[in-house]
Structure 1
């Protein structure tokens, strides 16, 4: 339980860093270089029998959430929860999925490649 609280704290701090907006709500070039951010951002965490997919995009470059869910399911994951939040001009998607077949698993490198193609 304590590890989960620490992880939530880390993610909240990371989200705050990433959502520093200028007057238009976009990162200015100096902020982008400082935190190494280029939208869209994809992060996949593999927990063995589960996955966490975090996507961050701008309002101008968005994608359909159902397309992301479809790719996850085609790769052998079953989405158990999905959330979306908008902060400034940024959209944050968080999806949690479980492996459908423990024997087969999920090839995260292929999943990452397919999702990158979808959101780019």
Structure 2
């Protein structure tokens, strides 16, 4: 009796494997069809499956390149637009507007005072990006300011730094020297 029981078990396992394999093939065929339907040109339906898969892979690579280009363009536009908005926001030092179109004239600084808050916009070249750290050091260690926001964005060879800080209560004369001192530091590098 055991040999027939063994044959029955083998027969069931063989049927199970065939069913599993058939289901797998059907699922893969469905996934291939779905992938090919997403391609912009549906004329490739008549070509062989490996050719269709190559076309899909090439299309995905092309999309990835386009996404990267668009991300880079967006990053540049956001950086430029943000800086232009900040620059046109009505600076208390209108004569110190920053010209980002001429990298040779960098670094440039603009400081906006709003009560006890200073908004500092610094544009440097990549070779002068150390200045941002030095300005933070001067503000915190020497002038006792509290940094509330610091950030930067890089567009081509220009680095756009933004810094917001709160100046501790001190006499107005000392606080009014902060913009002058920072501008002097930046101009000494020019």
TM-score, scaled to structure 1: 0.62
1:85 — aligned with what? 153
Structure number with the higher strand fraction is 1
**Residue 18 and residue 113 in structure 1: after superposition, are their counterparts in 2 closer, same or farther (change >3 A)?**
closer
The range that moved more, 58-67 or 90-99, is: 58-67
Deviation of 1:115 (Å)? 1.9
Question: Residue deviations 1:19-67, cap 9 Å, x none?
Answer: 55xxxxxx38xxx8xxxxx211110000012110000011133324332
Matched, 1:111 2:178: yes
The gaps in structure 1 that reach 5 residues or longer are 1-7, 21-26, 33-37
Give the whole-Å Cα distance in 1 for the aligned partners of 2:184 and 2:149: 22
Give the whole-Å Cα distance in 2 for the aligned partners of 1:70 and 1:92: 18
Question: Residue deviations 1:58-111, cap 9 Å, x none?
Answer: 11333243321121122242111100110110001100011222x535523x22
What is the 5 A alignment of 1:1-120? Answer: 11=85, 19-20=100-101, 27=102, 38-73=105-140, 74-101=142-169, 103-104=170-171, 107-108=175-176, 110-119=177-186, 120=189
**Residue 63 and residue 113 in structure 1: after superposition, are their counterparts in 2 closer, same or farther (change >3 A)?**
farther
Q: Please, what is the CA RMSD of the aligned residues?
A: 3.0
Higher RCO, 1 vs 2 (CA within 8 Å, ≥6 residues apart): 1
Q: Detail structure 1 runs of 4+ shifted over 6 Å in the superposition.
A: none
SS state at 2:128 partner: coil
The gaps in structure 2 that reach 5 residues or longer are 1-81, 89-97
Whichever of the two has the greater Rg, that structure is 2
- Residue pair 1:52, 1:94 contacting (<8 A) in 2 also: yes
SS state at 1:60 partner: helix
